[in-house]
Amino acid sequence: MRFKNYESVNKKIFYGSVVLVLIVIIFMVAYVGPLSPDSNAKPITGSAISAKRVSAEEIYPMFICPCCGQLLDKNNVCCGAAKERIDYIDSLVDDGISENDVVIKMVQKYGIDSLSSEFKKEEVKKELAKSAPEDRPIINIESDAYDFGDVSVAKGVVSTIMTMRNGGNEDLIINNIDSSCMCTTASIIFNGVEGPRFGMSMHGNPKGWSVTISPGKEAQLKIYYDPTVHPDIVGQHLVRIISVFSNDPVNFEKKIRVDIDQVA
């Protein structure tokens, strides 16, 4: 009888251990996640921008060509602007950075509207605002629009000047300006000196240029419109966009809308 009782106790201990192990496994799967060969891998969420590493092919369709409006596709490159953006994505992916960093760098270089999805745009804006330091440069431009009114082809180039100011607590560095059309160009005037004139980036803009504006200091944005670039466009209302890029971590691309009524 003593032997049978001893054998019964051992069975109870054995089955109790099995149940305990199963409970531990179920807990790990439910709260930690399934076991993976890569113990350092981060879980992939449903976010449109995640920290996982991806291939360039996954990044291309997140962005559009600025002049053709098509999704970027390396197998169907629509123009020079698309190729430039595809090449930049390739270089970023080759650096081994995450999807999140590739998207942020692309947006910082080409602007928020380069993204193909409104959802992704909102995600990027929220992420930038969340991570922005309190002591940061802040770009302020007196207006986000200017109307030239009637512009005569016969009279040629017209221009206007807008005041810009660094409203932050760190140096504001402006290093690029882009235009939606070569008929509209812009430059920065700082301390009485005018910098190079910028047009559409796809047609070639100055390289290696920048201007540093200290906190509280001002500069001027000078916008030019040349009606002779499109002399056949008469009697039409035109809209052009100037984009000013800086190291403001939130508003790194400030857009100015330019309206023109071109006449003979």
List, for residues 169-228, the tens digit of each pLDDT value: 999 999 999 999 999 999 999 999 999 999 998 888 999 999 999 999 999 999 999 999
**139-263 belongs to CATH 3.40.50.150:** no
Give the angle 128-134-137 at the CA atoms, nearest 5°. 75
Sequence ranges of the domains in the chain: 1-35, 56-131, 139-263
Sign of CA dihedral 36, 42, 45, 51: negative
Which carries the bigger pLDDT value, residue 193 or residue 39?
A: 193
| Burial status of residue 129 (CB atoms within 10 A of its CB: 0-12, 13-18, 19 or more) | exposed
List, for residues 18-28, the tens digit of each pLDDT value: 556 566 555 55
Q: Per-residue pLDDT for 230 more than 70?
A: yes
Q: What secondary structure, in 3-state letters, does 127-140 show? A: HHHHHCCCCCCCEE
